[in-house]
C-alpha cells in the first residue's frame, strides 16, 4: 500500500475541494496517484466543490448558539437565498454554531478543523460535502465568541427562519451574580437594541483609532478657518455627539429613549439584586461587506433558452 502523506491529502483537497477523508480514501484507492485520485473523486461526484469555489457567496444564514455562560455567532454564506431555506443547509449552520460554542472557538481556520459531529471529518469537510450535495458554493465566513465567569449571554436573531438562525444575529455578555432570569431578559433586550442600532463598539475606548481620526478630520474640514482653540472645542464636542451615535453604552436605549444603554444596565442592578457589567457584544448581519454580483436574470433565461448557457 502506498504511503499516503498529509501533504498529498492537502494537495488533492486543494485541487478538488473534496473533503479530507474523501481525499485520503481516493489516494488509497489509486495507490497515491494524484491525477488518478482526481478522476476517482470526479466519478464519485465528490469534486464538485472545486468548480464552485470562485462563485460569490453573499447569501446564507447567521447562526447563534448559547451554552451556559458562553455564546457564539457565526456566518455561513451561500450563493442564493433559496439555500437558506434548505433544511440540510440550516442543519449545517446550526451544527457549526454548536461546535463553536462547545469549543469556545472564535477563529475561522481553527473552527474549520474541529470535528463535525455525526460525520466523518472536520467542519471543513462537512461544508465541502454540502457544496457537492446542494450544488452551491458555501463559505464559513466568520465567528465570534463571548463568555463571562458569572452571568448570562443574551441573544437575539432578526428575521429568524428557525431557532437560532436568521439574517442578523447578536450576542451580548452580561456579568453579574444576580437573578439569571432577570438578566436573561435584559440581555435579550440589549441584543435587540444592538440589532437595531448597530453600534461600532462597546464604548469610546473600543473604537478603531483610524475611525476616530477620520471623524476628527471631517469635523476639522467642516469648520476650517476657525481659530485653533475654537476648533479644538468643536472637535471635542463633535466627538461626544459621535460617541452617542456609535458606542453601545452611550446610545439612547431603544426600549426607553429617556436613558442610555449604560444607564439601563446600571439601573438593572436593583432588579437583579447585584451589580451588572456589560462586557461585550457581537453583531453579524448577513452579507455585510461582501461585494455582490448583480445578475441579469432575464438575460440568463434568454441565454438558457437559446442554448448558450
**What confidence tens digit (pLDDT) does each residue in 66-109 have?**
999 999 999 999 988 888 899 999 999 999 999 999 999 999 99
Q: Decide: 168 and 86 in contact? Cβ < 8 Å.
A: no
Q: What percent of the chain clears pLDDT 70, i.e. is strictly above it?
A: 88
The answer for residues whose C-beta is within 8 angstroms of residue 248's C-beta and 6 or more apart is: 190, 193, 194, 197, 199, 201, 202, 203, 261, 262, 278, 281
Cα(122)–Cα(229) distance, rounded to whole angstroms?
60
The pLDDT tens digits for 15-42 are 776 777 888 888 999 999 888 888 788 7
Distance CA(201)–CA(8), nearest Å, equals: 44
d(CA 99, CA 1): 35
> At a CB cut-off of 8 Å and minimum separation 6, what does 141 contact?
75, 76, 77, 108
Kindly report the number of other CB atoms within 10 A of residue 275's CB atom.
13
The confidence band for 220, taking pLDDT boundaries of 50, 70 and 90, is confident
Cell of 186: 435584559
- Residue 257 backbone phi and psi in degrees, to 5: -65, -10
Amino acid at each position: 500500500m502506498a504511503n499516503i502523506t498529509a501533504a498529498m491529502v492537502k494537495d488533492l483537497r486543494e485541487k478538488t475541494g473534496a473533503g479530507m477523508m474523501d481525499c485520503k480514501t481516493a489516494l488509497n484507492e489509486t495507490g497515491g496517484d494524484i491525477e488518478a485520485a482526481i478522476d476517482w473523486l470526479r466519478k464519485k461526484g465528490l469534486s464538485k466543490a472545486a468548480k464552485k469555489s470562485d462563485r460569490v457567496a453573499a447569501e446564507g444564514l447567521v447562526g447563534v448558539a448559547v451554552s451556559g455562560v458562553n455564546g457564539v455567532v457565526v456566518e455561513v454564506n451561500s450563493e442564493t437565498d433559496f439555500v437558506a431555506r434548505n433544511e440540510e443547509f440550516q442543519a449545517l449552520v446550526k451544527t457549526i454554531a454548536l461546535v463553536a460554542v462547545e469549543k469556545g472557538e472564535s477563529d475561522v481556520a481553527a473552527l474549520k478543523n474541529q470535528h463535525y459531529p455525526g460525520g466523518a471529518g472536520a467542519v471543513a469537510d462537512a461544508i465541502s460535502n454540502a457544496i457537492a450535495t446542494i450544488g452551491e458554493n458555501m463559505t464559513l465566513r466568520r465567528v465570534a465568541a463571548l463568555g463571562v465567569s458569572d452571568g448570562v449571554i443574551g441573544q437575539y436573531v432578526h428575521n429568524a427562519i428557525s431557532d437560532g438562525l436568521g439574517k442578523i444575529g447578536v450576542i451580548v455578555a452580561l456579568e453579574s451574580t444576580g437573578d439569571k432570569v432577570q438578566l436573561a431578559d435584559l440581555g435579550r433586550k440589549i441584543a435587540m437594541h444592538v440589532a437595531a442600532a448597530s453600534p461600532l463598539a462597546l464604548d469610546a475606548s473600543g473604537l478603531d483609532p483610524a475611525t476616530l481620526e477620520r471623524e476628527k478630520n471631517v469635523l476639522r474640514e467642516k469648520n476650517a478657518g476657525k481659530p485653533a482653540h475654537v476648533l479644538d472645542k468643536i472637535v471635542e464636542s463633535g466627538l461626544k455627539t459621535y460617541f452617542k451615535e456609535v458606542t453601545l453604552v452611550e446610545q439612547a436605549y431603544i426600549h426607553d429613549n429617556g436613558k442610555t444603554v449604560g444607564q439601563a444596565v446600571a439601573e438593572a442592578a436593583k432588579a437583579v439584586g447585584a451589580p451588572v457589567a456589560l462586557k461585550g457584544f457581537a453583531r453579524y448581519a448577513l452579507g455585510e461587506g461582501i461585494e455582490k454580483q448583480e445578475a441579469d436574470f432575464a438575460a440568463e433565461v434568454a441565454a438558457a433558452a437559446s442554448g448558450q448557457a
